Structure 1
Amino acid sequence: MSMAPRWQKSSYCMNESDCVELARLLPDTIGLRDSKRGQGGPVLAFSAPGFESLITRIKRGEFDRH
């Protein structure tokens, strides 16, 4: 029997209802979704190294609007 992923909101969201949520989908797969879309919304799936790379690039500001 497969367990449903346990989604967790970002700590930056505080009490906001619309936020980013993360869950471990498989031992080496991280899911990312928009909380306002909920259960039926799309999920981006990353390998653990791919997710770490994404976070590093976000922290560097590589996706900031100029």
Structure 2
Amino acid sequence: MDSPVWQKSSYSGANNACVEVRTVSGAVELRESDEGRLILRTTPTALAALLHGAKAGEFDHHA
């Protein structure tokens, strides 16, 4: 089911500088709330792989 309304991260609290997400036509769209015109569109599978990699520390060497 599509959710055209942007959902804010639960970690952002009242802060307006946060990541927002929504689903449209089976794709996942992400944007930063203070740069609303710039949208990253990906598949649920690719986003899940990115999140799992981040949680596993796969990208820590880039910090």
1:36 aligns with 2:34: yes
Which residue does 1:59 correspond to in 2? 55
Mark the runs of 5 or more structure 1 residues left unpaired by the alignment.
Answer: none
TM-score, normalising length: structure 1: 0.78
The one-letter code sitting in structure 2 at the alignment partner of 1:36 is D
Query: Which aligned segments of 4 or more residues in structure 1 are displaced greater than 6 angstroms?
Result: none
Q: Greater share of strand residues, 1 or 2?
A: 2
Which residue in the other structure is 2:15 paired with?
A: 16
Compute the displacement of 1:4 (Å). 7.9
Q: Percent identity?
A: 35
Q: Which runs of no fewer than 5 residues in structure 2 stay unpaired? A: none
Q: How many equivalent pairs are there?
A: 60
Alpha-carbon RMSD across the aligned residues, in angstroms, is 1.8
